Structure 1
Amino acid sequence: MTAPAAPLPPMIDWGLAVALGSRLAGDGPVVSRAEADEAVAELRAGAHRSTGLVREFTGLDAPDGTAPILVVDRPGWVQANAEGFAVATRPMIEKIAASKPPSGIGLKVGAKVTGAEVGGLLGFLAGKVLGQFDPFHEPHGRLLLVAPNIVHVERELDVDPHDFRLWVCLHEETHRVQFTAVPWMREHLFSEIRAISDTVEPASFLEGGLERITEAIKAGRNGGSIVEMFSTPEQLEVIDRVTGMMSLLEGHADVVMDDVGPTVIPSVAQIRKKFTKRRQGVGALDRVLRRLLGLEAKMAQYRDGAHFVRSVVDRVGMDEFNAVWAGPENLPSKADLSDPDGWVKRVLA
């Protein structure tokens, strides 16, 4: 049994983050109790149905009984992601605390400020996310499907709700299968997070970060995300590796939902056309926020990852492509995404 983690200085007020994020997220579309119950039941059934469809198409076999499937509302998504952020940021907080443990009123004020910042971020994202695999939940992760957002988008796009719900489930269940059928993937993600934390120099973190963001703006690189602006060259190397991995996971899931979709979802072509247009953002402010928060890069992950997966599968077939899951060394780099033939030569030669 793993020993409980030692308590850390409360550098982020997670309670405030959850409360603020939940309030900012809102409740979502107005639905009757019967409509809500139907959507929840259909999403659960769609996720379970998708497991076999994903297995048949990809050859990935996830053990039964791992990584539960949860249908949540917006506050539920905020709570789950606050818990995930707490796990993800723990290595960095441990390093900062070991270097110069904060204390007193400064610690309390700082925790409130960071809690408010995290809450604002979660509140914004809680109205956008349709589903998500949470790898930080013990012991194997969990799948979250955000029912009010799915209902909102299916109404906004004016698509068949039953088809749209299964289409979303295919994408998100693919992520659950990826992490549970490939058990080293979860620990590899954690190791990359620790690698970023190892590069943090607590004493100069804020000062250096401010200097880097100023230089980025002056150099005309302010089209990047806040994360990239604050990152050191060492951290950017890790971010590039993570980009390759996440692009693979997102692109692989997009390929599954689009290639399996026509066999079980009659209106999949119409859904894809409308949804792709929606991914571009709905207004100027929305697009700016997406860019600053790194969501523009997320859109590129879908596109570049799907291109990589399709290119390799078309060339060597799904069985050979599945060598990508053999170990971290076989994951595509950021450069491989635009050079699938290079990956084939490196990994399959």
Structure 2
Amino acid sequence: MSDTPFGFGLPPEEPDDGDEGKKKDQQSGGGQGPANPFGFGAAGAGGFGGPGADNPFAAMFGSLNPTDLGAAFQQLGQMLSYEGGPVNWDMAKQIARQTVAQGTADGTKDASVGPTDRNAVQEAVRLADLWLDDATSLPSGASNAVAWSRAEWVEATLPAWQELVDPVAERVGIAMGDVLPEEMQSMAGPLIGMMRSMGGAMFGTQIGQAVGVLAGEVVGSTDVGLPLGPVGRAALLPVNIEAFGKDLGVPQEEVRLYLALREAAHQRLFAHVPWLRSHLFGAVDGYARGIKVDTAKLEDVVGQFDPQNPEQLQDALQQGMFQPEDTPEQKAALARLETALALVEGWVDAVVHAAAKPRLSSADALRETLRRRRASGGPAEQTFATLIGLELRPRRLRDASRLWASLTDARGVDGRDALWAHPDMLPTASDLDDPDGFVHREQIDFSELDKMLGEAAGGGKPDLNKQADSDGDGTKDDGAE
């Protein structure tokens, strides 16, 4: 260990030749000396947040000199005393904002949105809503359109991330107490409390890094297929739209308009299908409830836990501590979630294509680019997969898009959109395997339903003679009563 408490280290020095220089180099955190458990004193490389971001303490404090130790200990005490829940969301927000400020790997920096970009986004969303009127029966769902910087996206979407991540993080907190023998739990209370606070800090760091990186990738508030922003607010990120369209060979105005179509289509769906948000978030929660913590790995961490080396907990989180239970219930939960995500993205894909194809020469190219981008995901999505055992990607986007297109051909726009009236009416995973069979079956079912509803509305009784006349010759068939 370093000679200084908690490995804070001394200010970096230029190493001298020989053994003395090596000793000084080790004390200053350089060379091959013992690792600094908190990462203070020198920023390391790696992680999603740039230099030092793979260490929550380095990400928070950066390089320190001895005069900053008081402030460092104060922030450390605040971190360990956090009692707001299983994830330290104050830290997550701070790390996300720092990650955004560092810029993306291609050197693109965040910036406040100017009036020109703001007006361009508002105009694009307005025009997109006009075009969508012909492609869907659902009315506009955006009460206003806004242009966000990356930092504004972080601020606006953190509440939704909290709703998604907290259920899994809560399981970790419970598991930390369960791994100790019952007779030891009362004696180890302070240690368990410290570990839970530390675990919340580690979760907050990793989530903050992932959200910060994702802020550099997304082009709107609905990119991951979930309503992350405030209800009724269509949002686009001009700086990311410019980066997205940079090498596509498509005019920037067309790129912006196509992405506005996708954002506006999502907003219509989430605004006018009132059960959809809770259905999607409930599917995520149902899947999370079936995730089990790798208790063997956690027991190993607890058994070797060193209060001066909290990076052990972070390493466990980064390596993936969560495994889906291999049960029929968990497989069904995953199927429901993947199908729900695919149906949302497939509907948006089909509707946007119908609206854009006659009007934008680049519609096909932009559609394929978005499909591939959505299917492959990015580094931030991989981080969420590691942390909560879940990839927020619609694996069957193309199948769902084909099914919605077939429904449009068979039943028209109104008939297609009517399926969103209730979750039980939506296609299932097996229906994505046989879209033609679903379309044909639904036509029959809805024909009978329409007849029954019409008879009920008219107050009359069904004409049994007409029902029994299956051959259409005006006479009752043999055997009909």
Structure 2: distance between partners of 1:288 and 1:165: 23
Query: Structure 2 vs 1, CA of residues 118 and 346 (structure 1 numbering), >3 Å: closer, same or farther?
Result: farther
Local SS of the residue matching 1:143: strand
Aligned residues of 1:24 and 1:124 also touching (Cα < 8 A): yes
Q: 1:128 aligns with which of 217, 224, 244?
A: 217
Equivalent residue number for residue 105 of structure 1: 194
Query: Structure 2 vs 1, CA of residues 208 and 248 (structure 1 numbering), >3 Å: closer, same or farther?
Result: farther
Equivalent residue number for residue 220 of structure 1: none
Deviations 1:286-326 (A, max 9, x none): 69949967998726343222122112222332222223211
Pairing 1:230–2:305 present:
no
- Number of residue-to-residue matches in the alignment: 320
Structure 2: distance between partners of 1:93 and 1:46: 39
Matched letter for residue 15 of structure 1? D
In the TM superposition, what is the alpha-carbon distance from 1:276 to its structure 2 partner?
5.3
Matched letter for residue 327 of structure 1? H
Pairing 1:207–2:302 present:
no
Matched letter for residue 70 of structure 1? V
Aligned residues of 2:211 and 2:380 also touching (Cα < 8 A): no
TM-score under structure 2 length normalisation: 0.56
Deviations 1:37-86 (A, max 9, x none): 32332112212322232232111124674xx5432122222233322111
Matched letter for residue 148 of structure 2? V
Local SS of the residue matching 1:300: coil
Equivalent residue number for residue 304 of structure 2: none
In the TM superposition, what is the alpha-carbon distance from 1:12 to its structure 2 partner?
1.0
Equivalent residue number for residue 4 of structure 1: none
Bigger radius of gyration, 1 or 2? 2
* Structure 1: tracts of 5 or more residues without a match: 1-6, 211-225
Structure 2: distance between partners of 1:104 and 1:159: 55
Bigger relative contact order, structure 1 or 2, given CA contacts below 8 A and separation 6+?
A: 1
Equivalent residue number for residue 53 of structure 1: 131
Matched ranges for 1:11-30 at <5 A? 11-25=86-100, 26-27=102-103, 29=108
Equivalent residue number for residue 343 of structure 1: 438
Structure 2: distance between partners of 1:123 and 1:32: 14
Pairing 1:73–2:127 present:
no
Matched ranges for 1:130-169 at <5 A? 130-133=219-222, 135=227, 140=231, 142-169=233-260
Structure 1: distance between partners of 2:297 and 2:351: 39
Pairing 1:118–2:207 present:
yes
Q: 2:121 aligns with which of 17, 37, 43?
A: 43
Equivalent residue number for residue 409 of structure 2: 314
Matched letter for residue 99 of structure 2? L
TM-score under structure 1 length normalisation: 0.75
Aligned residues of 2:147 and 2:235 also touching (Cα < 8 A): yes
Matched ranges for 1:187-206 at <5 A? 187-196=278-287, 198-199=289-290, 205-206=293-294
Q: Which of 12-21 and 100-109 deviates more?
A: 100-109
In the TM superposition, what is the alpha-carbon distance from 1:96 to its structure 2 partner?
7.3
Matched letter for residue 207 of structure 1? T
Local SS of the residue matching 2:235: strand
